[in-house]
Amino acid sequence: MKWELYRWVWQVRSPLHLGTAPAGSLNRTRLYVPAYTFRGALVNVLAGKLGEGPSAYQKATQALDSRFRFTYLFPAEREGDKWFTWLPRYGYEKGPGLVWRREAQGNTVPDRHFRMRLLSTRASTAIDPGTDTASDGTLREVEVIHPWFAGEKPREVFLVGYVLYLPGSPGGLEAQANREATPVEEEIKEIKRYLLDEGGLEVFVGGELRYGLGRIELVHRNQATSLWNAQIDLNQKDPVVDKPEFLLAHGFASSGQNELKGSLECVAVWDNASGRGGLKSLGLAWAPGTISPGLRWRIRGDGFWELA
């Protein structure tokens, strides 16, 4: 059984907030959409198409887990009928810090300057219901990815990533021609149609969704053979990225630490399993852009990478 790889392009239709560690009264944002966050947003959309109630969310989650894998979405700009992604790099060319490198063209921009091009802020506060005035100590600014790159010639902001789909029945077994499809198979067919065949899919991703933030629209997809400039093995149980120069997701590595050079982050996710709730720590992971020479990485079902 072989995975199919598709590259897709999402247009940012409203400001995005992908929360990370705050700085004082500034709620900071990431410059990319983690696959785990994006997968959760897709479950929310697809559950509404598959039915109603908690069971629809369970069906959507099971279908995505069994046959789909997602990469991170990184900012991109359009030139003609092509989209060029900006990817993070640590220790690239000058100095040890983080820079952003444009796909194909190869020019780099320091992280600080790239944030100035891509981000804006929104002021907000909590309202005291007793006085209808701002509550003390709640004034803050929220960083957001703006739908337009700043500059003399503003350009629309897009997000580019990849989706992998495994044809056939769950567990790697081909469906028999004379056997009626199971409910899971029917849901997988529906989800495949929404994600890989139809157009105009809209997803709300990230934080501050109640205020109109987070809307992105799928505008293009095509079949691909590589993950940006990295080769990928599609014949494994989980797709394996073969010796990428830089990480393109958060990567968990129990060995090979001496070969990695970049930034470590403590990764936590929401755990909504039955009887539990709240944040669950996954431990330390290497951030996107980390130098990763000569290592192979498995794309997990939650979108994170770990050494193969």
Q: Above 80 in pLDDT, residue 204?
A: yes
Mean pLDDT of 297-305: 94
The first and second tokens of residue 167, run together, are 């044809």
Are 124 and 118 spatial neighbours (Cβ–Cβ below 8 Å)?
no
- pLDDT, position 268: 87
- pLDDT, position 181: 46
- Which range of 105-109, 216-220, 268-272 scores highest in mean pLDDT? It is 216-220
- pLDDT, position 165: 95
Residue of 229, 2, 205 lying closest to 103 (CA atoms): 229
Q: What tens digit of pLDDT does each residue of 159-199 get?
A: 999 999 999 754 443 443 333 445 578 888 889 999 998 87
- pLDDT, position 275: 59
In this structure, the strands spanning 251-252 and 305-307 are: parallel
Distance of alpha carbon 43 from alpha carbon 218, whole angstroms: 16
Q: What is the DSSP string of 184-212?
A: HHHHHHHHHIIIII-S--EEE-SS-GGGT
Q: Above 90 in pLDDT, residue 247?
A: yes
The first and second tokens of residue 110, run together, are 């320091």
Mean pLDDT of 93-98: 70
The first and second tokens of residue 275, run together, are 């009887």
Mean pLDDT of 203-231: 93
Q: What is the mean pLDDT of the chain?
A: 87
pTM over 0.75: yes
**pLDDT band with cut points at 50, 70 and 90 for residue 256:** low
Q: Above 60 in pLDDT, residue 218?
A: yes
Distance of alpha carbon 152 from alpha carbon 103, whole angstroms: 21
Phi, psi for residue 281 in degrees, rounded to 5: -80, 135
Mean pLDDT of 215-228: 95
DSSP 102: E
Q: Which long-range contacts (CB under 8 A, 24 or more apart) does 83-88 make?
A: 83/9, 83/158, 83/160, 83/220, 85/160, 85/228, 86/114, 87/228, 87/246, 87/248, 87/288, 87/289, 88/31, 88/32, 88/246, 88/287, 88/288, 88/289
Range with the poorest average pLDDT among 51-60, 70-79, 220-229, 234-243? 51-60
- pLDDT, position 174: 42
Mean pLDDT of 79-96: 84
The percentage of the chain sitting over the pLDDT mark of 70, rounded to a whole number, equals 91
Q: Above 90 in pLDDT, residue 41?
A: yes
Distance of alpha carbon 55 from alpha carbon 57, whole angstroms: 5
**pLDDT band with cut points at 50, 70 and 90 for residue 246:** very high
Are 71 and 227 spatial neighbours (Cβ–Cβ below 8 Å)?
yes
Are 18 and 207 spatial neighbours (Cβ–Cβ below 8 Å)?
yes
